[in-house]
Structures are given as structure tokens and as C-alpha cells.
Amino acid sequence: MSIIPSKSRPISQAAHRLIIRVDLASGARIGPGKVALLEEITRTGSISAAGRALRMSYRRAWELVEDLNSNLGTPVVSTAAGGAGGGGARLTPAGQAVVSAYRAMEAAAEAAAASHLAILDRTFGKDPAPPG
């Protein structure tokens, strides 16, 4: 597990926080973007709708799902073809486990780092000194 800054969510001046990414031995990488996509697929029932909600193309959303499916060795999202009956997507039990495990690790990491983040917040918080 590595702790990395997120380029997609700027750190607010009110508090510092952690962003985690998990690099698995299989080559799979699980981070905030993929987990948010899986959560949106659960919410919307659609890869394309989830992508739109996260301001990413359908192609990008599909690539992220395919990356997880192939690198984890088991599907995290199951899909049904569109047409008259609709179609859609839903998380498999493996996909639900990915989201649950990631959110649990995220909460544990934030709790473990809370006192250290408080020090950073006091040191570099609301009114950081100008450089120079």
C-alpha cells in the first residue's frame, strides 16, 4: 500500500487528508478513482452513467473496469447488453469486496494518521507563511 496525493481532488485549506492507492501483486492498482467508479456503477446501474457522473468518457470508464476485471482475475462488474430490455451493469461480489476493503483501509489509514495530519494542519494550515 502506498499513500499518494490525488491530482483530481485538491487539498482544502481547512484540513489535510490522505489518499491511498493499493498496488496488488497481480499488477492491479486500486485507488480513489476506480473505487469511485465502482460506487457510481452501483448507484447508477450503468458504466456510461457512472462515467458521466465522474466526468469521464465511457471508453475511459470501460478501460478502468476491464483493467480491474483482468488484473484481479475475476470480474468486479457484470454487464448485460442493451437493447429493448435495457442492459446495465452491477458489481459482482468481488467488486463489492474491492469497494468495502478499500474504504476500510482508507478509514483505518485516516484514523492512524489523524494526529500527524493535525500537526501538518497546525503547521501549514489556514495561513501558511509566504515563501522567501
pLDDT beyond 70 at 66: yes
Q: The domain spanning residue 29 has which CATH number?
A: 1.10.10.10
Average pLDDT of every residue of the chain: 84
Count of domains forming the chain:
1
123 in a domain, yes or no?
no
Model's pTM, two decimal places?
A: 0.78
Residue 61 covered by a domain: yes
Residue 60 belongs to what domain range? 2-10+17-77+87-113
Evaluate whether residue 71 is within a structural domain.
yes
Give yes or no for residue 21 having a pLDDT over 80.
Answer: yes
Domain membership flag for residue 50: yes
DSSP 34-95: HHHHHHHHHHHS-HHHHHHHTT--HHHHHHHHHHHHHHHSS-SEEEEEEETTEEEEEE-HHH
Q: Is residue 99 part of a domain?
A: yes
